[in-house]
Amino acid sequence: MGDFFNELNSGHIEFIKKQHIFFTATSAQSGRINVSPKGVESLACVDNNTIAYLDRTGRGNETAAHILADGRLTIMLCSFDEKPLILRCYGQGRVLHRDEDEWKKYAPYFEPTGWARQIIALNIESVQTSCGYGVPLFEFKQERDVYKKQEDSLSKTDLEKKRKKLEIKYNLTSIDGLPTGLETESEE
C-alpha cells in the first residue's frame, strides 16, 4: 500500500530533483485515460504543497483538457537507479496560460523557451511513496535536444508562428473532443 503524507517533505523534494523523468496521469469522466512522460528538467517543486511543470507545444494536449473537465492530476516519479522508490503526488491541477497573472509567478522556475505552451500546476492533496522493487534498473544517457535545436534554428518570430500553427492544428481539443483552453490564446 505504501506510505501517505499530506505534503512533500525535504526527502521527497531531494528525490524529485534527482530523477530524469516523470509521468502525468489525468482523465475526464469518460473517454481515454491519459498518461504522459515528461523530462524532469521542466518540473519544479514550488513549495511543499505545489509542483508545476512547463508544458511544451506538441501533438496533443490531453492533460489540459482533462484538468479543465475534471481537475484531477497525478504526477508520478520512480527511481531507475540502485535505490528503489516510487513517489506519487495526487491533487487538483491548474492550467496556466501566458496571459494570466499566475504565469508570471511560476515562469521564473523554468528556463525560457519559445516552445512553452502552458504551465501545469498541481495543488497537492496527498503524497504516496512505495517500494519500487518492480521497477527495472536503467542508466540515464542524456536529455533529448530536439526542442533546443529547433529553437536555435528559427527566429523568435518564426518559432512563435510554428508553435501557434501546431497549437491550432493539434492542441485546441483533446483526442476525445474536449476543449483545452488554448482557443483564445491561439486565435490572436
Given a cut of 70, whether residue 185 has pLDDT beyond it is: no
Mean model confidence pLDDT for the chain: 94
| Kind and range of the H or E run holding 13 | helix 10-18
Residue 181: alpha-carbon gap to chain centroid: 16
The average pLDDT across 72-99 equals 96
pTM of the prediction? 0.93
Give the tens place of pLDDT for each residue, 6-29. Answer: 999 999 999 999 999 999 999 999
Give the tens place of pLDDT for each residue, 109-163. Answer: 999 999 999 999 999 999 999 999 999 999 999 999 999 999 999 999 999 999 9
Domain residues of the chain, as ranges?
3-133+143-181
Please state the φ and ψ torsions of residue 98, each to the nearest 5 degrees: -55, -35
Architecture of domain 3-133+143-181: Roll (2.30)
Strand partners, 44: 52
**Rg for the chain (alpha carbons), in Å?**
17
| Contacts of residue 104, Cβ cutoff 8 Å, sequence gap at least 6 | none
Given a cut of 80, whether residue 188 has pLDDT beyond it is: no
CA distance 43 to 142: 17
Residue (of 135, 143, 178, 108) closest to 38 by Cα position: 143
